[in-house]
Structure 1
Amino acid sequence: MTDLQERVPPTLTRLADLLDTEGAAGTDPADAWGHPSLCEGWTVAHVVAHVTMPARLTPEQWGAEMAAAGGDFGVLSNTVAARDSALPRAELLEQLRSARLHAWQPPGGGAAGALSHAVIHSLDVTVALGVPTVAPQDAVVAVLDAVVATGGSWFGVDLSGVRLEASDADWSWGSGEPLRAPLGELVSLVSGRTLPDGRSLPRR
């Protein structure tokens, strides 16, 4: 991939399409929005509200939110996700598809950070719902490569003594006890998530 940012729009647009289409989670979009995500304590609606913050908040509003949270990004994220998950679905879907969000990069994170944010949170939704990954496969691999290159330190997981093997692609990493799963589930695991079947990686 020559430009990681180019994989952000299709990831977020396909996520919007999924949540705007009947059949998500095997029922209808309304039920999908209320379904638990892989982010502990968050529904799918919370995840979408979190992902779309850059499309909704001006720099001044962001600063005010951070000040109200006492400078704690975790507090800010939970507050905004809980509040803005109640916004009209059409508004959140429009923000997922917005050029402003597609061009956004996290401070200091660049295009790699933007892609990781889009891919990981899209998987928080799709893995939880049990539906196919919406991110392009090369984007998922790029994020997986980036996370394992840190040994899991980004998310505080312990990758020592484990060999990650993709069941849907020619990808593997590490040595030790094999852990085999689709690429998307591997990204979720190395990002510190617990899969619907209960699998997780140990914490550092």
Structure 2
Amino acid sequence: MTRTADEYWELIHAERARVALMLDGLTAQQWHADSLCGEWTVQQVVAHLTAAANTGRWAWLRSILFAGFNPDRHNARRLAEHLGRTVDETRENFRRSVTLTIAPTRDYPAWLGEVIVHGQDIARPLGITFTPDPDAVREVATYFAAKDFAVNSHRMVKGLTLEASDTDFAAGSGPLVRGPLLSLVMVMAGRSEFLTDVDDDGVAELRRRIG
């Protein structure tokens, strides 16, 4: 089933709202804890999500141009623009962005994946069980397995078969990697912490690729 733009935005808004609800329950110490996203803290990941929700096509083009086409420099600059002076300000900046319909391209599954992956980047190291909508996870898994965009997800699993243990999702061909669909999404996004959730013949190769 091909979703409309409005349907994708409904999924994106629902996942942002889910993240916002999780953030409401965090302590000050948790906001300053490390995430799974590089060297960013939880607060910085939230600011990055806010930046993503506020960056349209021309703003993205200007930013990446002035960053010398360096995505890390681009992301750092945009993050800094939306990082509050306090945790409460950062949280409020994100909350105001939940229902925005701004994106630099029409790759809606990628922007949905941005929210789902970074939600886990926050939750996993804090020991929080955080479960996105299964339909949203399936949209991201299908997209990630087929295309490189914000992450090199297709390249990560090329020549491997992915099979979900909790639904009927399958993609690719080659040695098998089997596990919960959300964990498959996270390993496609390069998160080695989720390798413990998957198994079968293809895991060793996937581990090598993630590094």
Pair in the same fold by TM > 0.5: yes
Aligned to 2:29: 31
Alignment map for 1:28-107 (pairs within 5 Å): 28-54=26-52, 69-81=67-79, 84-85=82-83, 87-98=85-96, 100-107=97-104
Q: For the aligned residues, what is the CA RMSD?
A: 3.2
Partners of 1:178 and 1:58 lie apart in 2 by 38
Shift of 1:141: 0.7
Could you list the per-position Cα deviations for residues 52-82 of structure 1 after superposition, in whole angstroms to 9, with x for gaps in the alignment? 0156679998787656534533202124436
Aligned to 2:111: 114
- Percent identical pairs in the alignment equals 28
Q: Is the 8 A contact 2:48 2:79 kept in 1?
A: yes
Shift of 1:146: 0.7
Partners of 1:17 and 1:32 lie apart in 2 by 14
Query: What is the DSSP-based 3-state SS (H/G/I as helix, E as strand, rest coil) of the residue aligned with 1:39?
Result: coil
Aligned to 1:188: 186
Aligned to 1:11: 15
- Choose 121-130 or 139-148, whichever is displaced more: 121-130
Partners of 1:70 and 1:190 lie apart in 2 by 27
Query: What is the DSSP-based 3-state SS (H/G/I as helix, E as strand, rest coil) of the residue aligned with 1:108?
Result: coil
Partners of 2:56 and 2:157 lie apart in 1 by 38
Alignment map for 1:162-201 (pairs within 5 Å): 162-195=160-193, 201=207
Query: What is the DSSP-based 3-state SS (H/G/I as helix, E as strand, rest coil) of the residue aligned with 2:177?
Result: strand
Q: Is the 8 A contact 1:13 1:96 kept in 2?
A: no
Which structure has more relative contact order (CA 8 Å, sep 6+)? It is 1
Please report the TM-score for the alignment, with normalisation by the length of structure 1: 0.75
Q: 1:148 to 1:62 in 2, by over 3 A?
A: closer
Partners of 2:104 and 2:57 lie apart in 1 by 12
Shift of 1:165: 2.3
Paired AA for residue 158 in structure 2: S
| Greater helix fraction, Structure 1 or Structure 2 | 2
Q: Is the 8 A contact 2:162 2:176 kept in 1?
A: yes
In structure 2, stretches of 5+ residues that fail to align are 197-202
